[in-house]
Structure 1
Amino acid sequence: MADPDDISDRPSALEEDLTCPICRSLFQNPVLLSCTHSFCKDCLDQAWKGKTRKECPVCRTNCIAEPIINRALKAACESFQKGCRVPGLGKLVCGMHNREFVLFCVKDEAPVCVECLNLHPGHDLLPLDQGVPVCKGELNVKVSILEEKVESFKRIKKRYLDTIAFIQNQSETAEKLIRQEVERLREILKKDEEARVLALKKEEEQKKQAIKEKVAILDKDLKDLKDLIDDTRKEMGGEDLDLLLNFNKLKHSAKWTDEGPQRDQAELIHVAKHTGSVGYKIWEKMLSQVECLPVIMDPNTISPWLSITPEFNSVKENKERQAFPDNLERFDPCVFVLGSEGFGAGRHRWDVYVGDNPKWILGVCKESVARKRKFTVTTNSGVWTIGLSKGVYSALTTPRTELKVDRRPETIRVKLNMDKGQVSFWDAGNGCHLLTYTDKFPNRVYPLFGPGLHSTPMAIKPSKVTIHQQ
């Protein structure tokens, strides 16, 4: 018979089942092969490293199918490591050896009994009372991270709530501006309506009065004619000799040469003048009451250090940082604002007033230009611009290209031809060409405005609208 001591030193059947055949330790992330053998994932990866034929390390079966996670074995190992309670005593003991835990494995982060030592070869082992502070220390770090995450989420929540309030303010302000502008146009239309109706009524009265005057003339002529007829008939009823003696006189007096009032060429109201194409005429007149901006700035992209007009066509320095939401589109810390619409094709042109601003940047950029960090404004960054700094006009290339300018332009004209891949800059005052970029633009580029931190506004000038009739 075998020595009982030898038997006790052997691993238990459960311990053997939960031990990796390669590393002879408790399974870590066990995977199952098609041949039904299981191994630690890392052990299997190491065994198969550099090999083209994937053989099972135990039975040498060629395993074509990919290993799958052995969830049941993993759960069994985890339960085994947790141990079990002795009935009646409530004491936790090693689930594999039914012995009390006396040590703590630093590598596997689990308590072990004295018979588990062969499962942890080369591992750092501590007495249980020394393992507790190690675990608590690591958990305190985790708790601190979680507490920081809680505070971070609270700040994020506050930003979202502030954004809701900002959106509400945006909506109310936009609604007010819409109603004000529509009301202004409505008043203009109302006045135009009244003027057109008044002109119609005036012509009506004039035409009716002219005809009434003719009717009055006809009424007088009719009375005179009736009197003449009566007088003539009376003379005709007298003595025959008297009729003969007065015949020439009566014949002359019975003549009526007046043909009455003549018909006018324009007796009726000129209805076509008043109502013909009335909508178009009103629209044509309204052109003088509205501005056509070729480009509109996007307030959602504006730097917190800039202020923008309600029409979104002018920006300048704001003395204090504004409480804007930190949305992804917004430039911060760079002092820029983009146009609200990008251009993907065609030709476009807009004029920008820069005045006496000592430092500014103006041009176009790709949509993905950096928003939340400082960056070098160059064509390499997807920005095609002209700028003024320290009295020098430059093409913002790498390196910068100084431009020779005969005079200080107050208004810069930007011409964009997406079909040719060109953007050019001109002095709008005298039509002098300043700079042209020819490049391969992305699918869409956006107007870029950089007024700097100065009181002089950078403003988009209205376009002149013309009507071409064919």
Structure 2
Amino acid sequence: MASSLEDELSCAVCCEIFRDPQMLLCGHTFCRQCIDHQPNLQVPVSRTCPVCLRSTHQNPVSNLVLKSTCESYKKEKDRRRTEEEDYGGVPCPRHGLKIRFFCKSDRELICKECRNQEHRAHKVQPLTQAVQQHKDQIRAALLPAEKALESLRKGSALECRVTKYIKSQAEQAEKQIMAEFEKLHQFLRVEQEVRRSELRVEEQQKREKQEELVKWELQALSDRVMGVEEELQNDDVTFLRNFNDILLRAQYRPHPHLDPASLIDVVKHMGNLRYNVWEKMKDVCPCYPVILDPNSAPPQMSVSGELTAVRRSAWRFYSPNPLQEKGDDFRVLGSIAQNFNFDCWDVEVGDNKSWKLGVYRRSLGWNNVVECSMWGLCRTGDLFYAEVPGSTLLQVNSPPKTVRMKLVPRKNDNTLYWSLSISDASRVWVLCRFNKIPFGTDLCPFLTSQEKETPLSIVPVKVNITPEKELTFLERRVDYGTLARSSGRTNITSTLSFVK
């Protein structure tokens, strides 16, 4: 309807709302500006209407009624446009009035009639006040995101610090790898030089011996040839009389002193060379049953470069782990979980009087809450405690220097469980024992030290390398029918065993 009314109030020339409408004799109306731009209408002799094409000789007359109507229509249109800009352009769907209020009870936008009728007993506030409150709520909710954005831009966010920490970890690990391989290279270089030196010594000895034999043989043969040549110069009677002796001296027979022992003992120097060097390397390459995980260390704890010792550290000497800054757990976990193949390790505590060690388990409870359990031994000064969920004071007369942890799987009523014993490794004296530790999530060893001077260190284990002998045919009880006898072989496949 509004569109039809606007069409009726529009000029046929410019297609806009009439501005100072002028009516011709034929009854059609146009804007004064449009009439001024029509050459046919400005000629006093003959004027043609653009709509009906009738000619007229009279000047146009102002259409005051249409002018007033157009002005009223423009004012109403401007008013509606202003209201739409102020109130979102959405009037009340029930009453068509301006939305001026907000019902806090029903959380609805309402007009004046809605407030007087359905929302009379509700909490109602002005629309501008509600908008301001909701904007403040949005700004408050947006504040953490703005702070996070600012910290990301400045590089102080956790993600940025973790990125820097990863870079520092890689640099430290690379330096440690180079240092460890340099030790191996140094060992191989020394071993190589020792073996080359032994080879050169044997070469020198046997070459000098052979040169002496050549020198002696040269002198002996030279004397023999000269003697025979002199005998050939004798008179005929003497020559024939001594012929047999001369012939015997002229004949050459090699000496039996040349044998394989005169050569280099290549088997001694090259036999199983790599295997022998590898077997010897076990003395310079310690094997640790537990490797500590530096990612689990809080900023207050420091892990050694070989990941086998831990001590309390100062913040200024070590780069703190950003993921452990807010943690109050001072435990450093072992990176290898306990299982049936790995059940015993020793920890050297020395004179440290403030430490805690044992096994640790983290699992999810029935309501998806992380549950942490630990079993171990704690020392505080001269007091020792057994750590279970709870602490029990122990009677320890002689503090241990090395503590042995041993896990043994047991079975009772078709139920598997762990049994943990903690003892003094030097005297094999059990300090405490924990039975029926439930199976499920793997147990991880943990260490904690509150002293800076004396670290807690994992004790390396001894490694034995023994060749495994393959069974003979007879031992395998294999019947080969016509085979009269069997032959045995030795398969040099090494078996590693760890000895405590």
- TM normalised by structure 1 equals 0.69
Residue 213 of structure 1 is matched in structure 2 by 212
Question: How much has 1:239 moved relative to structure 2?
Answer: 5.0
Query: Which of 413, 416, 425 is matched with 2:407 structurally?
Result: 416
Matched-pair contact (CA < 8 Å) for 1:232–1:254: no
Residue 170 of structure 1 deviates from its aligned partner by: 0.7
Whether 1:460 and 2:458 are equivalent positions in the alignment is yes
Structure 1 residue 251: Cα displacement: 5.6
Q: How many Å apart are 1:117 and its aligned residue?
A: 5.2
> Superposition pairs for residues 439-458 of structure 1, below 5 Å?
439-453=437-451, 455-458=453-456
The equivalent residue for 1:98 is 96
Name the structure 2 match of 1:186: 185
Deviation of residue 351 (structure 1)?
A: 1.2
**More contact order relative to length (CA 8 Å, sep ≥ 6):** 1
The correspondence of residues 11-410 of structure 1 with structure 2, limited to 5 A, is 87-88=77-78, 89-90=80-81, 91-92=83-84, 93-116=91-114, 120-121=118-119, 124=122, 126=124, 130-152=126-148, 154-155=150-151, 158-235=157-234, 238=235, 240=237, 247=241, 256=249, 261=255, 262-264=257-259, 266-320=261-315, 324-327=320-323, 332-368=327-363, 381-410=372-401
> Aligned pair in 2 of structure 1 residues 132, 468: CA closer, same or farther (>3 Å)?
same
Alpha carbons 1:304, 1:332 under 8 Å: kept: no
Q: Please, which moves more after superposition, 337-346 or 269-278?
A: 337-346
Cα distance per residue 1:48-98 (max 9 Å; x no partner): xxxxxxxxxxxxxxxxxxxxxxxxxxxxxxxxxxxxxx8543123334433
Corresponding residue number in structure 2 for 1:49: none
CA contact (8 A) 2:338 2:442 kept: yes
Asked whether the 8 Å contact 2:103–2:119 carries over to 1, the reply is no
* Contact 1:414/1:425 (8 A) holds in 2: yes
Alpha carbons 1:395, 1:435 under 8 Å: kept: yes
Matched with 1:425 is 422
Q: CA deviation at 1:210?
A: 2.5
CA offsets, 1:193-213, max 9 Å, x none? Answer: 122123223322333332332
CA deviation after TM superposition for structure 1 residue 364, in Å: 0.6
Cα distance in 2 for partners of 1:455, 1:243 equals: 99
Are 1:369 and 1:382, in contact at CA under 8 Å, matched by a contact in 2? no
Give the stretch that moved more between structures: 165-174 or 303-312. 303-312
CA RMSD across the alignment:
3.2
Q: 1:230 offset after TM fit, Å? A: 2.1
Matched residues, number: 368
Partner of 1:435: 432
Q: 1:436 to 1:102 in 2, by over 3 A?
A: closer
Q: CA deviation at 1:398?
A: 4.7
Per-residue CA shift, 1:359-405, capped at 9, x if unaligned?
221111114499xxxx9xxxx94211111235222222354333332
**1:202–1:183: structure 2 CA closer, same or farther, 3 Å change rule?**
same
The Cα offsets for residues 288-345 of structure 1, whole Å up to 9 and x where unpaired, read as 22222221211111121122222222222224476523327x7821221111221233
2:455 corresponds to which letter in structure 1? Answer: P
Q: Which runs of no fewer than 5 residues in structure 2 stay unpaired?
A: 1-75, 85-90, 411-416, 469-500
Letter in 1 for 2:277: I
In the alignment, the residues of structure 1 paired with residue 223 and residue 290 of structure 2 have an alpha-carbon distance, to the nearest angstrom, of 76
**Following the alignment from structure 2 to structure 1, what is the Cα–Cα distance between the partners of residues 112 and 179?**
85
- Render the CA deviation track for 1:213-239: whole Å, top value 9, x for unaligned: 22223322322222232233322xx25
Regions of 4+ moved over 4 Å: 152-157, 250-260
Q: Going by fraction, where is strand more abundant, 1 or 2? A: 2
The one-letter code sitting in structure 1 at the alignment partner of 2:398 is R
Partners in 2 of 1:147 and 1:382 — Cα distance?
A: 38
**Distance of aligned partners of 1:451 and 1:331 in 2 relative to their CA distance in 1, 3 Å threshold:** farther
Tell me what 2:25 maps to: none
Q: Secondary structure at the match of 1:294?
A: coil
The 2-side partners of 1:179 and 1:388 are apart by 37
> Judging changes above 3 Å, is the alpha-carbon distance between structure 1 residues 437 and 416 closer, same or farther for their aligned structure 2 residues?
same
Matches of 1:331 and 1:253 in 2, distance apart? 106
Aligned CA distance change for structure 1 residues 331 and 232 (closer, same or farther; 3 Å): farther
Deviation at 1:266, TM superposition (A): 0.4
Please give the secondary structure, in 2, of the residue aligned with 1:183.
Answer: helix
How high is the TM-score relative to the length of structure 2? Answer: 0.65
The answer (yes or no) to whether the contact 1:363–1:414 under 8 Å persists in 2 is yes
User: How far apart, CA to CA, are the structure 2 residues paired with 1:273 and 1:440?
Assistant: 55
**Identity across matched positions, percent:** 27
Deviation at residue 412 of structure 1 after TM alignment: 0.4
SS of match in other structure, 2:466: coil
